[in-house]
Structure 1
């Protein structure tokens, strides 16, 4: 085996074949290069065959040193102890030679599979991986729960797409989710891709989510860079509704329902003692009033807002293995149109069309307690699509210059 720097073609070919995260990609490498950021492609080869590949980011740290980080890397079989020892031993030497202060690795390795309620359904053997990494000086940062600016979420909400038709995927969702998807279709909610010069539309909705959940992560420029970096493997979509078209639909429904009501009411007058007919007529009258109410509300909304309402938007990135639902937002004023449901359904179908194995709803806190969870609503929303939970192994950190790292930690505490 040989530890070496990989060419972009060697790296790209390997991560396309081996299950890997979108950040371990040609696009990510070339994007960082274009911004003159420190980025490395290293791996292990046996002859011409690549056994491990890793995209590493570097950044200045503590004056004369560099901090290195690999997001969801390296890409390799972490259950192959010989390969793990060889890769990480040589990675340490490689980074020390480049004035590394410490390195943080975040392997794309599953610890447990859980159901949507957080109950473990299948454990994965990771203790030996942690023991091996610890023996190499890579300290495991533990099984964190919640969100942190210092690390990625450990819990992903994932929908399995393997060998399933769109109809099967829809059937396996919770009744409420299926009903809401169908309602959006009945209302005429639509979806479209946003062009580069329309990113402000996405960001406006994203900021509404920031305000709702009291967080602030990225600015508009970051999202623009992300979209440009991943090119054809990124989509920024938005759901919307044209109120004029919606009113047309409502008026057609009203006409049909009024006709049904009038026929039932006439029949009831001839048969006043038929209990089922009484109930049917009452329900039809109620339905007519509900549609009339929707028409009135929609007409009022047109006068106060606009003919076309922007409902929800999100940025998605995909590779050969998964489609990732990364950042999103919606206008709470228009929740009744449930734009997020149609957006997820259309993108699930898109991922299935691509032949991908997973639709990754991305991070949740990992706290499944109704009383303490900061994102129980989000967890339930994703669970409704029949998503399971993929709990990751977590982060490992290794000091590369022990004295300098110790001083760095002491100063950081102050």
Structure 2
């Protein structure tokens, strides 16, 4: 017999399939600290947990509440009997708790796409699942192909790292991405894990990137809260140059080229018509000039910033099922050092070495035209040969249409006043 389990704490025993429930609980604890109320619900049969969800609620209007089920339910969405039972009972539960409206965005693919964002010709669409939710009064919010701060990304970019090697992953990458990763190796661009008292490095990078690319950035308190809440699952990374090592290595390369140039100059003097050696000599001299220029730049940057120069930073959540890249940024004036590529490759290698099956680059807009606002972000992730995943989308259930209409009207008035 199925019945709804309502608890104020996590279920006592969670089957392996619901390991991610612990992750969701941590997200909820963060929201709870900001005034949200957390509700844990699930369905049990013979003391076996069949499905579960964490619901967050916040009073928004005259005691009425907004309910949210971030990334949907932990349920087999193709078990129609179970899903219908759960939706019915979740609706009854939120209605009993003075719900004004509820938002849900199931974490399930809508239809398969190729790496360029094109829908696969014979790919199955989950229109039946959309129809099922709408049957219970959940209105689908459409097939969004743009970023909206009110919703989680509907499109994500995912790299499959199951049963593969670093060499195989590199082989599939775009040539430019491979060159940039090779550049970071050759130039000793290093990657470190940021400790709690170093999170200001992440904050500074994200603030600079957000100001340049016009997106809202969080603050240091947010990153610290994430660190404290997610503990071993949280990781912040930074790419940096340590100039004593960088300069010593580059000087060694200059000396090595000088030795090669000396030999070729002698050979060319002995045989002036040897075009191949003459061209080799020109190429080596060009390389040497580039390195000498880099040494001058490095010396200037060392004088200005000290021995360590941070280039880029990013924030991740790590689980046995996936590594999730939440967001990152880099300093535009140090773009030539490719710090973001060093960080991504470092984390992808960890994914492979720990046998974690997927590396989630997370949000893209779903607009794959060159004039799209985030086209550069999409190309960056595509360069690693990440797959395009279109999620089912967002639904809104309006529990009290009359009160909701009044709430929306007052909300619009409030926003107009604040914009003045």
TM-score (norm 1): 0.94
Closer, same or farther: CA 12–347 of 1 in aligned 2, 3 Å? farther
Partner of 1:293: 293
Q: Name structure 1 gaps, 5 residues minimum.
A: none
| Shift, 1:80, TM fit | 1.9
Q: Counterparts of 1:63 and 1:34 in 2: how far apart (Å)?
A: 22
Partner of 2:6: 5
Q: Counterparts of 1:413 and 1:7 in 2: how far apart (Å)?
A: 34
Q: Name structure 2 gaps, 5 residues minimum.
A: 414-420
Partner of 1:303: 303
Partner of 1:362: 362
Closer, same or farther: CA 64–231 of 1 in aligned 2, 3 Å? same
Partner of 1:37: 36
- Deviation sequence 1:26-81 (CA, Å, 0-9, x none): 32344445666311111112222222111111111112111110111201111222
Partner of 1:346: 346
Partner of 1:159: 159
- The range that moved more, 209-218 or 66-75, is 209-218
Checking the alignment, whether the CA contact within 8 Å between 2:56 and 2:69 is kept in structure 1 is yes
| Shift, 1:365, TM fit | 1.1
| Shift, 1:274, TM fit | 1.3
Q: Counterparts of 2:153 and 2:249 in 1: how far apart (Å)?
A: 43
Checking the alignment, whether the CA contact within 8 Å between 1:24 and 1:54 is kept in structure 2 is no
| Shift, 1:85, TM fit | 1.1
Checking the alignment, whether the CA contact within 8 Å between 2:316 and 2:325 is kept in structure 1 is yes
SS state at 1:184 partner: helix
Structure 1 vs Structure 2 CA RMSD = 2.0
What pairs up with 1:126-137 in 2 under 5 angstroms? Answer: 126-137=126-137
Residues 1:242 and 2:242 are matched in the alignment: yes
Partner of 1:90: 89
Checking the alignment, whether the CA contact within 8 Å between 2:111 and 2:126 is kept in structure 1 is no
- Deviation sequence 1:257-313 (CA, Å, 0-9, x none): 111111011111111111111111111122222211211221122223322110111
Closer, same or farther: CA 348–8 of 1 in aligned 2, 3 Å? farther
| Shift, 1:120, TM fit | 1.8
Q: Counterparts of 1:307 and 1:251 in 2: how far apart (Å)?
A: 16
Partner of 1:406: 405
Residues 1:279 and 2:276 are matched in the alignment: no
What pairs up with 1:110-189 in 2 under 5 angstroms? Answer: 110-121=109-120, 123-189=123-189
Closer, same or farther: CA 222–383 of 1 in aligned 2, 3 Å? same
Partner of 1:396: 395
SS state at 2:396 partner: strand
- The range that moved more, 329-338 or 108-117, is 108-117
Checking the alignment, whether the CA contact within 8 Å between 2:139 and 2:396 is kept in structure 1 is yes
Checking the alignment, whether the CA contact within 8 Å between 2:55 and 2:67 is kept in structure 1 is yes
Partner of 1:261: 261
Checking the alignment, whether the CA contact within 8 Å between 1:12 and 1:25 is kept in structure 2 is no
Residues 1:49 and 2:48 are matched in the alignment: yes
Checking the alignment, whether the CA contact within 8 Å between 1:116 and 1:379 is kept in structure 2 is no
Q: Counterparts of 1:28 and 1:290 in 2: how far apart (Å)?
A: 48
| Shift, 1:402, TM fit | 3.0
Task: Give the number of equivalent residue pairs.
Answer: 411
